[in-house]
A and B are shown apart, each in its own frame.
Chain A
Amino acid sequence: MRFGIVVNEGPYTHQASDSAYQFAKAVLAKGHEIFRVFFYHDGVNNGTRFTVPPQDDRNLQRLWSELAEKHKLDLVVCIAAAQRRGILDANEAKRQGKDGDNIAPGFRISGLGQLIEAGIQADRLVVFGD
């Protein structure tokens, strides 16, 4: 079975990203596929590589990036939500005239169409938010 996962909140402030991450791991452990993980609203903040969380606690960005690398997951950060909140890749930084970018490894910035496509292509879409 193919799952689509939507993460509507940023790391730490809400449990949504943790719940989505644990769910994603369980999906894979059960032998299912993850079509895409789509980060919307403040969820885009999961995709910055500049977080420095305390050493004795989980690093959510790193967890997502490592899960993506290990299982070839498609982690998509919504471009419109990202622009509002300052999450940029190198292309976006150049296009918008910003002096840096911050996207984390394994995440890519794309349009809301990717969310709709996940709804169409996945067998189940599960939303984590506040």
Chain B
Amino acid sequence: MSEETNKKKFLYINRRAPYGTIYALESLEVILIGAAFEQDVSVAFLDDGVFQLMNGQDTAGVGMKNFSKTYKALGDYEVRKLYVERESLAERGLRVEDLMPITYEDENEDYAEKPSIHLVDRSEMAKVIAAQDVILSF
């Protein structure tokens, strides 16, 4: 168990849609590996990054690996703070219902299933950014 004082707050910022570039996939790989280091991890989805969480991704026609279900496993890796920006959704004609349901099991509440996605507006996202120690952009 790492000491609270030794934990850094890591934020991974995702601003691009998946598949057009590799950044979504390779940032997810960092998040998964990073989970083993027991830091205080948050993941931000803003601008086109919100598309990474779209439900119903079907890549059969483009011949690329569909890695979207990996986001659903983030809870198992103790990555539970997925901040999705409200304005980014609205600008793109999206609602939170268009996104994959992503949950984690809260061991402090009898493993009750809770949502990992936190919908935040721009000013709240700014506060999330301002609270971090380390910010990784992809």
> Which positions in A face B, CB cutoff 8 Å?
6, 8, 40-41, 80-81, 111-113, 115-117, 119-120, 125, 127, 129
Report the interface size class on chain B.
10 to 19
Give the chain B neighbours of A8 by CB distance below 8 A.
Answer: 138
Closest A residue by C-beta to B37: A116
CB distance from B43 to the nearest CB of A (A): 14
Asked if B90 is an interface residue, CB under 8 A from chain A, the answer is: no
Q: How far is the CA of A27 from the CA of B67 in the complex (A)?
A: 38
Tell me how far the C-beta of A83 lies from the nearest C-beta in chain B, rounded to whole angstroms.
12
In the complex, A92→B36 CA distance in Å? Answer: 24
- Indicate with 1 or 0, residue by residue over B1-44, a CB within 8 angstroms of chain A CB atoms: 00000001010000000000011001001100110110100000
The listed residue (B22, B39, B137, B138) touching A116 by CB distance below 8 A is B39
Partner of B26, one of A41, A111, A119, A127: A41
Complex-state Cα separation, A41 to B21, whole angstroms: 10
Given the complex, which residues of A lie within 8 Å of B26, measured CB to CB?
40-41, 80-81
Known A115-B30, A125-B135; further 17 A-B contacts with Cβ < 8 A: A6-B136, A40-B26, A40-B30, A41-B23, A80-B26, A80-B29, A81-B26, A111-B33, A112-B34, A116-B37, A117-B37, A119-B39, A125-B134, A127-B135, A127-B136, A127-B137, A129-B138
In contact, A113 and B138 (Cβ under 8 angstroms): no
Q: Do A120 and B8 touch (CB < 8 A)? A: yes
